[in-house]
Chains A and B, each alone.
Chain A
Amino acid sequence: MTNASYQNQKVRKHYDVAFPIVNTVILILLMFVTLYPVINTVAYSFNDGTDALKAGIGLWPRVFSTKSYESILSDPAVYQAAWISASKTVIITVLNLFWTSMLAYTLTRKEYVLRKVITTMMVLTMYVNAGLIPNYLLISRTLHLRNTYWVYIIPTMFSCFNMVVLRTYIAGLPEALVESARIDGAGDIRIFWQIIFPLCKPVLATVALFVAVGSWNSWFDTHLYNASKTELHSLQYLLKMKLATTNQSANAANASVEALTSSAASKTTPVTIRCAITVVSTVPILVVYPFLQKYFVTGMVLGSVKG
């Protein structure tokens, strides 16, 4: 072994020892950067409103106060919005699982005569889209769903992406399951409900998570179709409106922090209220997603690579 290559290997050894340490440090920093804005928001939400205007709050509230939460939890509009958000999320999730898995099953049946045409038309929709305005005209002018609760449900009760995820999964199940049931005289509806559907649990969990999060997080449908109907506002839309008002008042607030501080009648400000609503609307997601992690990872891989 020449001296140079020996040196080279020694250097490499040093790298190999240092790498795991550097790697761990980088990943810990990344976790910190990911969590900082979240914890910062929680800290603001528990801070006294007028004190929060001075900014500079990090990971812990400076002047602790639960006034922001008391304020939003005594506001009937928040309860109404939470009810709208929760109910539409549940309904859309159930409908999606139902339609999506049923269609996915039929598209795995090779003998089905409409299989090719339906599959092609479905997959095409993932790349070709009529666009915002034609969809808007369909929903508001043709179907008259504006200012109704139905606008949350009807346009989003089926998703092609999720159908592809499920189809890939069902196609991977043993064909003998279907064959033996058919010999026993079961029709396709029974085969699907009694045999295939229960076997899809892990991937159904993934689809349920995707659909539920999408529905819970949506604000644009309210903005576009139900903005003038306050009793149909969702939680995210409420937060979006708070965003707009704090934007406007932020400039005014910066100019007169002193004035506000001295005349503080209430102990809340738009900033702390906004943070409190953010926390309230995020908690349901935080509670659910870590438990579904192993499922959605499989689901993502099924959908995107084999799509």
Chain B
Amino acid sequence: MTNYTQGTARYVSPKKKGFFQKLASQWQLALMSVPIFLYVLLFNYFPMWGWRNAFLDYSSKKLVARGITPYIGFDNFKWLFSRQDFLLSIRNTLAMSLINLVFGTVSAIVLAVLLNEVRQKMFKRTVQTITYLPHFLSMVIIVAMAQNIFASNGPVNDLLGLLGIQPVFWLGEGKHFWWLVGIINVWKEVGWGTIIYISAMTAIDPALYEAASIDGAGRFQKILHVTLPGIKSTFVILLIMNIGHLMEAGFEIQYLLGNGLTAEFSRTIDVFVLEYGTSQMDFGVATAAGIFKSVVAIILLLGANFISRRLGEDTLV
């Protein structure tokens, strides 16, 4: 082995530097990047050491106060899955993120197609500027608005009244909560979601549209056979990314808009973690719930990526 290494040494020119010599000569690059790298290690990787909390018992306030947290193996996880409210929070998370994914994607693609068909530049730009606006509003502001709009005597119920439909108690009945979140999210993000699809549409070769016209295709056929296939790969990449984020139904809107009456439908895993972790100070259970979420998210991401590769589409990883 040593002989072999020595034997190949003649191919290495004497000028070729080792890793540390190279690094020393690149000290300026190192100075510009290593401090931030250490920062990221501290804020993104060091907290993973905190995952050990998931295997410790924080349930006894007396012991915790004395700094004693016994090791209990997977008991926190077992306890979690025996809890009805945790199982419901998994259901709520998946339900709301699926509603967001389906309606968010469909509405963004439909709006992108409609905008792509607009010929007057000014009108197109105006629609874009206005529909981007809600993306920049904070969730606090959006919930404040939603409380006006969906109030029992608010505009939405007035509109339903004109159509002869009985007023709906939007904010106080759990069964409406998922759809309320879906509606609000579509309202907030539909314009923003079009940006990527529109940029993919501008990359479509205009010759394809001309060829389709010569073949006698009308507007709808051009949309169906040129525009939509043109954004397919963008759609697949975004779908993979979104499937990786299926466990992230968010917590801001649920936390702000939910109340005691709707808790059964509004509590997501994140809200559950927040309640157990920061209100009840049971770091063990809350960390375990967080780990469960991360593990499922990684499995989903890799799974979607694998399926996409099998289908011969673009992949993320």
Contact = CB atoms under 8 A, between A and B. Distances in A.
Interface of A: 9, 12-13, 15-16, 19-20, 23-24, 26-27, 30-31, 33-38, 40-41, 44, 55-56, 58, 99, 102-103, 105-107, 109, 111-114, 118, 121-122, 125, 127-138, 155, 157-158, 160, 187-189, 192, 213, 216-220, 224, 236, 239-240, 242-243, 246-247, 271, 274-275, 278, 281-282, 285-286, 289-290, 293, 297, 300-301, 304-305
Given A20-B119, A133-B53, A26 B114 contact: yes
Contact of B140 (A24, A129, A240, A304): A240
Contacts of B151: 55
Interface residues of B, number: 97
Nearest to A289: B136
A234 to B, nearest CB: 10
Given A27-B115, A55-B153, A242-B144, 18 more contacts: A27-B127, A33-B187, A38-B133, A102-B33, A103-B33, A113-B23, A114-B23, A114-B29, A121-B41, A131-B273, A132-B290, A133-B290, A155-B43, A217-B138, A218-B138, A243-B144, A247-B147, A301-B199
Given A130-B47, A131-B273, A40 B29 contact: no
Nearest to A129: B294
Contacts of B244: 127
Contact of A239 (B39, B128, B144, B278): B144
A292 B133 CA distance: 12
Given A113-B19, A133-B277, A305-B234, A15 B219 contact: yes
A143 B302 CA distance: 34
A12 B114 CA distance: 18
Contact of B22 (A113, A133, A217): A113
A276 B238 CA distance: 38
A134 B29 contact: no
A243 B149 CA distance: 14
B145 interface: yes
Interface string B18-43: 01001100101111111011011111
B71 interface: no
Nearest to A100: B36
Contacts of B176: none
A246 B17 CA distance: 68
Contact of A132 (B37, B117, B199, B274): B274
A188 B241 CA distance: 35
A30 B127 contact: yes
Chain B binding surface, main DSSP class: helix
Interface in B275-295: 277-278, 283, 286-287, 290-291, 293-294
B160 interface: no
B114 A41 contact: no
Contact of A133 (B19, B146, B154, B287): B287
Contacts of B190: 30
B218 A34 contact: no
Contacts, number: 248
Contacts of B294: 128-129, 131
B298 interface: yes
Contacts of B50: 130-131, 133-135, 137-138
B45 interface: yes
A121 B256 CA distance: 34
A290 B127 CA distance: 12
B252 A138 contact: no
Contacts of A55: 151, 153-154
Nearest to A279: B141
A37 B130 contact: no
B90 to A, nearest CB: 15
Nearest to A9: B216
Given A127-B301, A133-B283, A278-B141, A105 B32 contact: yes
Contact of B259 (A133, A157, A239, A247): A247
Nearest to A163: B36
Nearest to A53: B153
Given A15-B220, A34-B187, A243-B147, A192 B32 contact: yes
27 contacts: A12-B218, A15-B218, A15-B219, A19-B220, A20-B117, A20-B118, A23-B118, A31-B126, A34-B133, A37-B146, A105-B32, A106-B32, A109-B29, A113-B23, A121-B40, A121-B41, A131-B291, A132-B290, A133-B53, A133-B277, A135-B47, A138-B43, A138-B46, A224-B278, A236-B140, A243-B144, A293-B129
